[in-house]
A and B are shown apart, each in its own frame.
Chain A
Amino acid sequence: MHDQQPVGMEQRSIWTPFNIVTGAILLMGLVLTVIRFTGGLGAVTNLDHNNPWGIWIGFDLLCGVALAAGGYVTSAACYLFGLKRYHSAVRPAILTAFLGYALVVLALTYDVGRPWRLPYPIFFSQGTSSLLFEVALCVMLYLTVLFIEIVPAALEWLGLRRARNLVARLVLALTIFGVILSTMHQSSLGALYLIAPSKLHPLWYSTYLAVFFFVSSMFAGLSMVIFESTLSHRFLHYKMDQEHLDQGEGIALGFAKAASFIMMGYVFIQLIGVALDHDWGHLATGWGAWYLVELLGFVALPAFVYAIAVREKRLRLIRWTAVWTVLGIVLNRLNVSLVAFNWQLPADQRYFPSWMEIGTTIFIVTLGVVAYRFIATRMPILYAHPEYQHE
């Protein structure tokens, strides 16, 4: 909606700092892409025999999916729990989720050996005994669901009313389907590591790994919605309609409260996990300290701060806590996938990402930011389209 843009946006130079840095990152990404697909993973990554999965899985996949959980959490809250006051948060959350998942798939094309075979497990040879199969199937289906969920925004933008109405009718089915798919693959991402009890540190390994991942994805999603709306409010304020601006505070308060409860529960089930596996002894070690940093410093403490911030209606504190919680989730996923994985190996055999791996990850994240910006400045994401305002 060009006509809605404030005057002056059209004429600004393309050499803004944002564009320059973004451009540089994208350029670097392209170079790395070329190296990756001509020299193999060995040319770009520090992966080796003992460490087959690096940050492209640990961060891009695990964190990417966890942080994209906002999509199912918000749509479930709005459509299934009937919390209509969160309506304005649904579309940005779905868009973030869609982009998140799309980027996860993009990251996978870098990580797997033969990316064009990514559809193989679904269409060609189904390894049903693998949890990775479940992940693949769910991610594929959920990406489709998210696409269909976000498509009305594009159709509104393009003015295709009939198609848009047709798709909009699917909302309920899609939401239910999406929530189930999310439940399944959020948890099975954790369950991926169930096969390797001999490699993952006992404090992080648990038969409840799937539950941990699922529950933590809920508050990850909630916090991510808060965090990402903070960013939108700051940078894309001018795109928001009145509903969005009005509901912003309520969403933050409501989501923070929910996140606080779930996080307390999460801490509790983590402790049950420790108790069931008799891992108390490990708590006294350096690994135990690191585990407690993660569990207490990045879950219990932010949960507490959330609770206080909600009671005292301190929005700024909520937003910072959201960032804190998001970092906690990142920490957890990295711990499971990289830090506590292969913990028994001597230091010289441990994995540390190469700058090119980090560069590729930054490239992919940047792509996401650019895509979000592109879509959010054009399509009715942060505001309801005037023609469909009353739906």
Chain B
Amino acid sequence: MGITRRQLLGWMAAGAAGTAVFPGEGKTAVKTHFAGFPDSAGVLHDITRCIGCRKCEAACNEVNDLPAPAKPFDDLDVLKQPQQLSEARYTVVNRFQPAGQESPVYVKTQCNHCLEPACASACFVKAIKKEETGAVTYDESLCVGCRYCMIACPFSVPAYEYNEPLTPRIMKCTMCHPLIKKGELPGCVAICPKEALTFGSREELIKIARQRIYKHPGRYIHHIYGEQEMGGTSWLYLAGNPFSALSMRTDLGMGPAPALTSGALAVVPLIVGVGVLFLTGLYAITKRKEKIAEEERLEAVNQTRSELEELMQQKLAEQKKAAEKEKEAAVKREVERAVAEAAKPTESEATDDSASAKEEHGNA
């Protein structure tokens, strides 16, 4: 087992990086800002330099083996219509004609490779990943095709192969990840004749961008698009016109995408924990209430029954007494009557007496 110090450090870095990809996740008390992997790469797009030659589109098409376009890349009339990224085009150039300006402005669009990508945080199978090189890559072998990444992406970058029946893929710029791992330049950067695209470490690119703004204050808007947008992107832009005039969204905010959902995710364990306790407790209370109610009911029934029984007994005893009294009286009367009859017998009296005696017995 020869683990070199380098390897060990590498693993540690990878581990740290793994936890750093979504630093907002689950952390509510500590808010740290992930400023990108150290020395990760990026591209600076100097919009003022772009001449709209579409060479980058052609190079991208070739490097990524994408289907041939309907019109060749050197047909610049294509730029008269707005161009959109698609499953066959990882990058497009668009022409803008800002008001009060004679020369048009060209803007290249592709995946911005966010430092904390919304798409990666949205992917429920981790098919999209922020690489240490800075590239945001996509693993076809995991993708389910739910297209939540497309919903999540604030720049509307990922495209989908809608016409692929069984193996549709998400298609987007990879920053030529395989090439940059080999130490080569991304296709578009390598071909750009005007060096409107500069590849390099993101930190270095920010310095270069600042230098350019400082040296040519009249040429640039004093803003590096992508330095802060959506928590920062690996692709950076400099422009001479307000970015909003170039159809670039300036209302996205400076927070990273995962921060938008971290709160909702952090509540999950809370709901499970507190929920089980709460509901079980609720059930227990309900049950207890039912039990008490049942007991109280039984007790009440029992009490009523015993009270009733007692009352009955009492009544019975009273009646018994009364009956005995009656009996005695009857016997006495009988005796007296017998005595009287014996002395002076009449028909009518005898009938009356026997009826009343019968009645009393019935009552008892």
Contacts and interface: CB of A to CB of B under 8 A. Distances in A.
Nearest to A121: B124
A195 B121 contact: yes
A281 to B, nearest CB: 15
A195 B167 contact: no
A172 B124 CA distance: 31
A50 B122 contact: no
A127 B162 contact: no
A197 interface: yes
Interface string B266-279: 01100110011001
A168 to B, nearest CB: 16
Given A50-B156, A52-B151, A125 B142 contact: yes
Interface stretch (A5-13, A175-183, A301-309): A175-183
Contacts of A325: none
B86 interface: yes
B118 A195 contact: yes
B10 interface: no
A49 interface: yes
Contacts of B86: 49
Contacts of A43: 163, 165
Contacts of B261: 129, 131, 191, 194-195
A114 B146 CA distance: 8
B263 interface: yes
B154 interface: yes
Contacts of A41: 160, 162-163, 168
A272 to B, nearest CB: 16
B62 interface: no
Interface in B226-280: 249, 251-253, 257-258, 260-261, 263-265, 267-268, 271-272, 275-276, 279-280
Interface stretch (A76-84, A87-95, A244-252): A76-84
Interface stretch (B98-106, B286-294, B298-306): B286-294
B201 interface: no
A184 B268 contact: yes
B123 interface: yes
B127 interface: yes
Given A80-B282, A80-B286, A113-B168, A130 B145 contact: no
Nearest to A76: B279
Nearest to A130: B124
B279 A121 contact: no
Nearest to B289: A82
Contact of A39 (B85, B165, B258, B279): B165
B225 interface: no
Interface in A32-62: 36-43, 45, 47-50, 52-53
Contacts of B169: 113
B144 interface: yes
B148 A192 contact: yes
Interface residues of B, number: 62
Given A42-B162, A184-B268, A80 B125 contact: no
B259 to A, nearest CB: 10
A230 interface: no
A90 B251 CA distance: 48
Interface stretch (A16-24, A132-140, A356-364, A368-376): A132-140
B275 A113 contact: no
Given A131-B261, A134-B265, A114 B124 contact: no
Interface string A105-135: 0000001111001101100111111111110
A180 B276 contact: yes
Contact of A129 (B146, B165, B258): B258
Given A40-B164, A80-B282, A194 B264 contact: yes
A156 to B, nearest CB: 24
Contact of B264 (A53, A82, A197, A210): A210
A114 B143 contact: yes
Nearest to A83: B286
Given A49-B85, A129-B25, A129-B265, A199 B125 contact: no
Given A53-B151, A191-B261, A184 B271 contact: yes
Given A129-B265, A131-B261, A192-B148, A114 B167 contact: yes
A207 interface: yes
B147 interface: yes
A40 B166 CA distance: 7
Given A114-B143, A198-B252, A80 B124 contact: no
Contacts of A111: 146
A36 B86 CA distance: 21
A124 B125 contact: yes
A130 B121 contact: yes
Nearest to B163: A42
B113 to A, nearest CB: 17
A195 B260 contact: yes
B126 interface: yes
Given A124-B142, A127-B126, A79 B162 contact: no
Q: Which of B147, B159, B164, B289 has the most CB of A within 10 A?
A: B147
Given A49-B160, A111-B146, A113-B147, 7 more contacts: A47-B147, A53-B147, A113-B160, A126-B124, A130-B122, A130-B124, A195-B122
6 contacts: A80-B279, A129-B120, A136-B124, A184-B271, A195-B152, A199-B151
Contacts of B271: 180, 183-184
A81 B281 CA distance: 11
B275 A179 contact: yes
Contact of A121 (B125, B264, B282): B125
B11 interface: no
Given A53-B151, A120-B142, A197 B166 contact: no
Given A81-B286, A82-B287, A194-B264, A176 B279 contact: yes
